Amino acid sequence: MNKLANMEMFVRVVESGSFAAAAEASRVSATMVAKHIGEIEHRLGARLLHRTTRRQQLSDVGRLYYERCKQVLAEVALAEASALELQASPRGRLRVLAPVSFGSHVLVPALNEYMVRYPEVSVELSLDNRRPNLIDGDFELGIHIGKVDEPGLVARPLRPYRRVLAASPGYLERRGQPAHPAQLSEHECLGLSYWRRFNQWRFVGPGGATCDVAVQGRFTANHGNALRIAALNGAGIVLQPEAVLADDLATGRLSPVLPAWALLPSPMYLIYAQDARPTAKLRSIIDFLLARFGMPQPA
């Protein structure tokens, strides 16, 4: 008899309360049950159970062995379930939370491609700039811009989140094109109202040079697209992610401002709760998004 079979029978004896009950549950004879237990006791050189005609009681060795057996059998069950899950096709509903601008302009097209690749998966995307609550199970996957230090989360780095400056040609004709970030203090700068320091912009430029600028402007909003529309109407210089402004810059509706400078990029992470056995759908979306937006591997 193998050790795992012996261990399974021992756990069944302890939890069912008797050899007879374990035999009935296992559909074997009580003699066979006794043989399993006897092999363990012979191998360990110790008595696991004190048995009388009315009851059985674990010895000290038996109690320790019982706890360890449960752990081993649980790990074996997990290993087998994980192996089966690896062969399963991704399916089911996937709940994702992402920042508003990145989610709507960058993530949505990628998720559409993902669903074409995995037709049995449906995606429920929520756009919100708050940190995803993954521990309570509201979402299975999140994208977060900024530091991640919450215990119980796995954070996989994505490419840094870059923002660029732009303004309408009409605004630049009226106010002039700044030649250095320091000159932004003389312009109408359109800021996100929920930024903790929306009037302090830190730029990185040629050769890694940095420049901190105190900006000002008469218009702020809590949504990047509102700032984009304000810029299109000549309200000032907007600072937004590259993806948000790409079409406007390509068509000339907006013109780049200080193209050699950019706001210091923010770290961005793909985050999910630690889990000993992630589902096929979760593994597939993690692999897909890391391939699409992950940090480039060194050559």
Q: Which residue has the higher pLDDT, 46 or 289?
A: 289
pLDDT at residue 201 in the model: 86
Q: Which residue has the higher pLDDT, 233 or 10?
A: 233
Long-range contacts of range 14-21, CB-CB < 8 Å, 24 or more positions apart?
14/49, 14/58, 14/62, 14/66, 17/56, 18/56, 19/56
**CB-based contact 257:127 (threshold 8 Å):** no
CA 79 – CA 166 distance, rounded (Å): 53
> Distance of CA 270 to CAs 141, 282, 295, Å?
7, 12, 11
Q: Residue 299 pLDDT more than 80? A: no
Please say whether the dihedral angle defined by the alpha carbons of residues 266, 272, 275 and 277, taken in this order, is positive or negative: negative
pLDDT at residue 182 in the model: 92
Angle ∠(134,240,215) on CA atoms, nearest 5: 115
Report the mean per-residue pLDDT for the chain: 86
Ranges of H-type helices in 118-236: 169-175, 224-232
CA 68 – CA 75 distance, rounded (Å): 11
Q: Residue 169 pLDDT more than 60? A: yes
C-alpha 275, offset from chain centre: 11
- What average pLDDT does this structure show over 21-27? 85
Residues 6+ apart with CB under 8 A from 182: 211, 213
* Entry pTM: 0.64
- What average pLDDT does this structure show over 186-207? 79
How confident is the model over 57-94, as pLDDT tens digits? Answer: 888 888 898 898 888 888 888 777 766 666 568 888 99
Q: Residue 135 pLDDT more than 80? A: no
User: What is the radius of gyration, based on Cα positions, of the chain?
Assistant: 31
Q: Residue 298 pLDDT more than 60? A: no
Using pLDDT thresholds of 50, 70 and 90, give the confidence band for residue 193. low
pLDDT at residue 86 in the model: 61
How confident is the model over 97-107, as pLDDT tens digits? Answer: 999 889 988 99
Q: Residue 275 pLDDT more than 80? A: no
pLDDT at residue 143 in the model: 93
pLDDT at residue 111 in the model: 96
Using pLDDT thresholds of 50, 70 and 90, give the confidence band for residue 157. very high
Structural domains of the chain, with CATH: 3-87 (1.10.10.10), 92-159+266-293 (3.40.190.10), 163-263 (3.40.190.290)
Q: Residue 248 pLDDT more than 80? A: yes
Q: Residue 197 pLDDT more than 60? A: no
Using pLDDT thresholds of 50, 70 and 90, give the confidence band for residue 1. low
How confident is the model over 219-245, as pLDDT tens digits? Answer: 988 888 899 999 999 999 999 988 889
Q: Residue 196 pLDDT more than 60? A: no
